[in-house]
Amino acid sequence: MKTVTRFAPSPTGYIHIGNVRSAIYPYLIAKQNHGTFILRIEDTDQARYVEGATELIKDTLQWLGLDWDEGPDKSGEHGPYFQSQRRDIYHGWAQRLIAAGRAYADPTPSDTVASYRAEANRNKQAFLYRNYRPADTPDWQPGIPLRFKAIPKAYDYHDEVFGDLHLGPETQDDIILIKADGLPTYNFAHIVDDAMMGVTHILRGQEYLPSMGNYLALYEALGLTPPKFVHLPHILAPTGNKKLGKRDGAKSADDYRRDGILPEAMLNFLACLGWNDGSEQELYSKQELIDKFDVSRIQRAGARYDEQKLIWLNGQWIRRLYAEDPESLFARSAAFWPKQATNDTLKRQVFSIIYDRLKTFNDLKTMTSYFFADPTVDLDMITSNKALKKLSETELCNLLHQSVAKLQTIDDWSATTLQDTLNELLAESGQKPMVLFGLIRLGVSFAAFSPALHDTLAVLGKNTTLARLNAVIAAFGRD
């Protein structure tokens, strides 16, 4: 049987990180088995619909390299792939349930339903609508919700992550199948769609586990064979024992993308949230994930969200991709340079000495501007520096003069020569590296961070280096 999996997001405008993981695993399973990965847009909840949300979902999947085989913009034998366009299909299946006596039109006003619920709460009973099922029901017609007629019983089933599970009759109720607006609920639509689309594995968050009684009852009433269930454990907030929410510092996939996180790192990070292949490996490419992913190794306990891990992985991925193809990684950094960085040759040189210190491409903005424009001389930054504040202004200026004189003698202004010359200067000055190199570093950059000093000076060039050091001496009034 051909493996078919799907990602079935609701276009609500915000792509929670956990939701992205629910796209990655089905993608991996489909690819591993030469199967089909479907993108289905679950847009039946008009109240939650956000304009542009489908584009955001598609962009995010494409950015991560999770190309769908069937879905929006792709033809396929199972379309349409927007639930809002499948109304007739759901109505057809609804009619079958009505004909079999397993669905009924329910005109009960919603405030009456609310009062039933309140009564159950007052009596400290679980609210089951079937206890209030109306005796007489009209024919089903537009504007009236359609409910399932539950025949409660026990179910035993297997979940690929949570194991063998037992559900009692209390898990089944007269759930709404079609709402008053004529659109189906998720509860009904996904079952019809998954069956019609030949889905073999459902992957979704564990929050759907409590509804499994209703789903199994619906499969049975519709005469459908349930697929494999793979419920994914929650992703936990960085602290405490609660589910990761918007307020826990986790950004949306799109935010991370804008912040210069590489899709390779994001994919790697999310795939490994609650899954590992049993080895110590931490860096996985998409192909490695396809080869190694195994549902049976998804951890049942929730995985803790650790953004620092993502950032660390991103740094690792920058190094790996640079080693593979520096030019294409450079091209991908284009949007992240400071405004003044217009010279591509210079950008390339800077990239080659700084890439291995970047955590994200966003660092380019904050770490490289002095390569493209003279920094503002800020003597306080020198005199308050931890290593330099022990020196008097005279000592600082003597050291700067000595450095300028030494660097002036270099004919071949290359990183290797600079490294040797700087070491000679260090010995001659009798200073600690922190002091001498720290002073030169600040003098040319006025930045808290620079790549290796000899690399930095090599890229800045002789004239710029000497001019900037002389400008510091002048600012001290000691030229």
Which residues of this chain interact with ligand GLU, rule CB under 6 A? 8-10, 42, 186, 190, 204
Which residue's entry shows tokens 């390299």?
A: 65
Which residue's entry shows tokens 């399932």?
A: 148
Tokens of 448: 């808290």
Structural contact between residues 267 and 64, judged by C-beta atoms closer than 8 angstroms: yes
Shortest distance (Å) from residue 273 CB to ligand GLU: 17
SS3 271: helix
Closest listed residue to residue 368, CA positions, set 322, 399, 337: 337
401, burial (CB in 10 Å: exposed 0-12, middle 13-18, buried 19+): middle
Structural contact between residues 322 and 340, judged by C-beta atoms closer than 8 angstroms: no
Our CB check for ligand GLU shows the closer of 49 and 186 to be 186
Q: In degrees rounded to 5, what are phi and psi of residue 6? A: -150, 155
Shortest distance (Å) from residue 57 CB to ligand GLU: 10
Shortest distance (Å) from residue 226 CB to ligand GLU: 13
Structural contact between residues 356 and 319, judged by C-beta atoms closer than 8 angstroms: yes
Shortest distance (Å) from residue 176 CB to ligand GLU: 16
Our CB check for ligand GLU shows the closer of 46 and 125 to be 46
Our CB check for ligand GLU shows the closer of 9 and 443 to be 9
Shortest distance (Å) from residue 440 CB to ligand GLU: 55
SS3 250: coil
Tokens of 230: 């793979």
Shortest distance (Å) from residue 209 CB to ligand GLU: 12
Shortest distance (Å) from residue 441 CB to ligand GLU: 50
Our CB check for ligand GLU shows the closer of 6 and 102 to be 6
Structural contact between residues 39 and 7, judged by C-beta atoms closer than 8 angstroms: yes
Alpha helices by DSSP H, listed for 325-392, are 326-332, 344-354, 363-367, 379-383
Which residue's entry shows tokens 């650790």?
A: 306
SS3 143: coil
Our CB check for ligand GLU shows the closer of 199 and 396 to be 199
Which residue's entry shows tokens 């001290």?
A: 476
Closest listed residue to residue 256, CA positions, set 53, 15, 51: 15
Structural contact between residues 193 and 219, judged by C-beta atoms closer than 8 angstroms: no
Our CB check for ligand GLU shows the closer of 132 and 186 to be 186
SS3 22: helix
Q: HSE (CB half, 13 Å, CA atoms) of 44?
A: 24
Our CB check for ligand GLU shows the closer of 19 and 368 to be 19
Our CB check for ligand GLU shows the closer of 20 and 435 to be 20
Shortest distance (Å) from residue 231 CB to ligand GLU: 10
Tokens of 349: 């040189």
21, burial (CB in 10 Å: exposed 0-12, middle 13-18, buried 19+): buried
Shortest distance (Å) from residue 62 CB to ligand GLU: 19
Our CB check for ligand GLU shows the closer of 229 and 371 to be 229
Our CB check for ligand GLU shows the closer of 39 and 399 to be 39
Shortest distance (Å) from residue 5 CB to ligand GLU: 10
Residue 139 CA to residue 127 CA, distance in Å, equals 26
Our CB check for ligand GLU shows the closer of 208 and 413 to be 208
Shortest distance (Å) from residue 202 CB to ligand GLU: 6
Structural contact between residues 59 and 263, judged by C-beta atoms closer than 8 angstroms: no
Closest listed residue to residue 26, CA positions, set 188, 161, 199, 189: 199
